[in-house]
């Protein structure tokens, strides 16, 4: 699958997207992914750290057509080379992965390139990079980032205040707490376990989407 046959989403679309799912390989992906997309997920990342590349490629080939059908960007984790190979809309990298500049060299200026940050010093450096968006957190410690302490909400708010790009908040986001996070000033959210461990993925994705939208509707942005 080449990038010439895949829709490349404009980087300018991301500020209007609020609910970003990171999901590992799963055997029921063809059933699970449409459920959460119908529920309101509007960015998807294949975040698979353990399995070999051929499994990641096969999984991405299942996910990409589904994401296209829903008009949702598809992002690969860690590897711009795999993102290029499968025709992803972009890649997300961490502080210890390849550089944003390398991602740009491989994927081009219009690709989505996300960069994780966990501290003010990382944020300062990230702001000099050509990333499309940043992530901040985890705001609370989470099993998906073993050994990394929570950064707290204050760090996420600092990132958002200083960044001219969307800042997606990671760590423990649920339908029960996301409304309060919106009221505190956050706008973009990454979810993992709340949906990947759900026995009712459509219903839980819809509850999360409604909670975000309802809180946003009550928020008056500064002019």
Could you tell me if residue 54 is inside a domain? yes
Could you tell me if residue 205 is inside a domain? yes
CATH code assigned at 95: 3.20.20.70
Could you tell me if residue 223 is inside a domain? no
pLDDT in tens, 4-49: 334 556 655 789 999 999 999 999 999 999 999 999 999 999 999 9
Range of the domain at 155: 3-217
Count: domains in the chain? 1
Give the confidence band of 145 by pLDDT, cuts at 50, 70, 90: low
Q: Where on the phi/psi map is residue 183: left (φ > 0), alpha (ψ -120 to 50), or beta?
A: alpha
d(CA 205, CA 155) in angstroms, rounded, equals 26
Could you tell me if residue 222 is inside a domain? no
d(CA 2, CA 64) in angstroms, rounded, equals 12
Residue 143 has pLDDT above 70, yes or no: no
d(CA 195, CA 41) in angstroms, rounded, equals 10
Residue that is written with structure tokens 């339908």 in the block: 175
pLDDT in tens, 93-126: 999 999 999 999 999 999 999 999 999 999 999 9
**Helix, strand, coil % over all residues of the chain, rounded to 5:** 45, 15, 40
Could you tell me if residue 35 is inside a domain? yes
Q: Where are the extended beta strands (E) located within the chain?
A: 19-23, 43-46, 74-77, 90-93, 112-117, 133-136, 167-169, 188-191
**Contacts by 51-58, CB closer than 8 A, 24 or more apart:** 51/25, 53/79, 53/82, 55/25, 56/25, 56/82, 57/82, 57/85, 57/86
Cis peptide before 138 (omega within 30 of 0): yes
């Amino acid at each position: 699958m080449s990038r010439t046959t895949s829709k490349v989403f404009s980087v300018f679309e991301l500020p209007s997207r609020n609910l970003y799912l990171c999901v590992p390989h799963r055997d029921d992906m063809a059933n699970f992914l449409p459920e959460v997309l119908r529920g309101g997920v509007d960015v998807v990342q294949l975040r698979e750290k353990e399995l070999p590349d051929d499994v990641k490629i096969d999984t991405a080939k299942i996910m990409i057509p589904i994401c296209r059908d829903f008009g949702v960007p598809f992002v690969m984790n860690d590897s711009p080379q795999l993102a290029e190979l499968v025709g992803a809309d972009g890649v997300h990298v961490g502080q210890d992965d390849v550089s944003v500049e390398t991602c740009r060299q491989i994927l081009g200026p219009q690709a989505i390139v996300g960069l994780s940050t966990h501290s003010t010093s990382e944020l300062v450096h990230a702001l000099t990079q050509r990333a499309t968006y940043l992530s901040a957190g985890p705001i609370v410690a989470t099993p998906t980032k073993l050994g990394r302490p929570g950064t707290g909400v204050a760090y996420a708010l600092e990132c958002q205040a200083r960044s001219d790009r969307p800042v997606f908040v990671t760590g423990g986001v649920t339908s029960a707490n996301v409304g309060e996070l919106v009221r505190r000033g956050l706008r973009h959210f990454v979810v993992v376990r709340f949906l990947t461990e759900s026995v009712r993925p459509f219903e839980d994705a819809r509850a999360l989407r409604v909670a975000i939208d309802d809180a946003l509707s009550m928020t008056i942005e500064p002019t």
